[in-house]
Structure 1
């Protein structure tokens, strides 16, 4: 078995490579920045979305499975709709077509809950939830899912899947979780009502473990899976866990939610309030029914992540 991993210098892709190698699986790394991969190993430059088809076919030589982690993520605030489509749709389509032709194994596309729901959605989602992305990033990830599945279906194959992830945490994370972590590393008192939503998260290690499980499971692939830590936890609990790790006082003020909501509306921040307080829960029951075990100590891992960050240690969780 040999696995091609794209986006191998990224936040999740690097950890996928690490877990595959620990499982003694041969890996080829594809990255837009192969110079960052160091000497040794099987590494290649990831073709641009408009590269000739031969470049993608050559990349698949001797490959059994593909894990496609490379993406333009929603922390890129200056990215346009065209940027998201090129990175997340066109590139995925080219890779999946080449893989469907040249490889004999599985295609795992790392997707996001934003391919299904917007930031203000409230409720629980699973594989039966009808996708309704609300942003350019989410739409591009949903289109990427479709392209991967259709590329395999057009070759008469059903061994491609999209693995949808909630926010992923770990050393070096970006986006809203990184902002929340910076906020936790202050002595500022925070209104608990502003962080009352319950959220699913997933440890980077658990996300990589889900990929490994999907590559090696004897069960035929379903088109879509959700993975997440269990249980989902309140945002206030996330802040508390991080502040424990930083050695900061909790300082969560019991200001009534109705009062905070009115104040946010008066300041024109009603939608931002709705996003902050929304409960968004992923149900990974399908993946669990096929033998995957989720991370169960989210708060402990968040506390340890903050403790290591305070000490200036960069080892990943």
Structure 2
């Protein structure tokens, strides 16, 4: 067994590589900036507009593919075309090559943003009709479609998209990183007002889900949703970070009617709406197939903050 991993130096990709090596699985890394003289199998990741032959070259002699490379939604200057090229067209090119000559599976790291926007309240599962609300989400959904089209047109059904909620861990970015910075202060915060509940997933747990999909027996579904076992409130997320930093809780309630106009004045209304929503992911399909989710999100978030503080010392 030999697995090609794209985006292998990224936030989740590096942990996927670690999981594979711990399982004694051979790995080939496809990187945009490969290190010269590396002791393991590293190849140059082609651009989205590279000829098909370039993708056939990097998928030669591997049995499976994990596609982690892409453009994340924390790039404020990225255009819709940037997202489509990085998340949809690159995926299409890679999937065509994999469907043509890779005997095993392709796992594509997608996002719940391919299904819905950050202000949606409700439960997210594999049967939810996709309705992405942002350029990033639309590009991830188109990446899913183009990957599956490449495989079905070749008569194959061994490709799947793994949709992830916000991911926490060392090196995380986006809204969770903002919340952790807010928590790292002695000042009281109006976080008790934030009644929204969210499903999250640790980066290590996401990597284990990838390994599970690569190695489990039986057919694959086109889409899987992964998350930690239990959702957590925004207020509890901030409390967990503060515990990890060794800071007092100091959360107080402020009427939402006061917070909304303040957020609007600061140009953060969308951010506020996202924090106020309740999004619960249902990972029961993966669990029924033998995958084990993280069960203590609060303590894992606290560890992330504690480790962040230790690295600064």
Shorter-chain TM band: over 0.9
Name the SS of the counterpart of 1:5 in structure 2. strand
Distance 1:93 1:117, change over 3 A: same
Q: Is 1:68 the equivalent of 2:54?
A: no
**Match for residue 12 of structure 1?**
12
Matching of residues 183-262 of structure 1 within 5 Å: 183-261=182-260
Cα drift, residue 258 of structure 1: 4.0
Distance 1:183 1:173, change over 3 A: same
**Match for residue 172 of structure 2?**
173
Matched-pair contact (CA < 8 Å) for 2:191–2:238: no
Distance 1:71 1:271, change over 3 A: closer
Distance 1:255 1:70, change over 3 A: same
TM-score (norm 2): 0.96
- Distance of 2:157 and 2:244 partners within structure 1: 44
- Distance of 1:187 and 1:127 partners within structure 2: 41
- Distance of 2:228 and 2:175 partners within structure 1: 18
Tell me whether 128-137 or 192-201 shows the greater mean CA deviation. 192-201
**Match for residue 25 of structure 2?**
25
Cα drift, residue 250 of structure 1: 1.1
**Match for residue 43 of structure 1?**
42
Q: Write the deviation string for residues 24-65 of structure 1: whole angstroms up to 9, x where unpaired.
A: 001100011112x87200000101111111111111111100
**Match for residue 182 of structure 1?**
181
Instruction: List alignment gaps of at least 5 residues for structure 2.
Output: none
Matched-pair contact (CA < 8 Å) for 1:9–1:33: no
Q: Write the deviation string for residues 123-142 of structure 1: whole angstroms up to 9, x where unpaired.
A: 11101111000100000000
Cα drift, residue 312 of structure 1: 1.0
TM-score (norm 1): 0.95
Cα drift, residue 273 of structure 1: 2.9
**Match for residue 96 of structure 1?**
95
Matched-pair contact (CA < 8 Å) for 1:194–1:273: no
Name the SS of the counterpart of 2:110 in structure 1. strand
- Distance of 2:37 and 2:148 partners within structure 1: 33
Q: Write the deviation string for residues 288-315 of structure 1: whole angstroms up to 9, x where unpaired.
A: 111101000111111111111111179x
Q: Is 1:293 the equivalent of 2:277?
A: no
Give the aligned length: 313
Please give the root-mean-square deviation of Cα atoms over the aligned residues, in Å. Answer: 1.7
Cα drift, residue 115 of structure 1: 0.4
- Distance of 2:267 and 2:244 partners within structure 1: 34
Cα drift, residue 193 of structure 1: 4.4
Cα drift, residue 260 of structure 1: 3.3
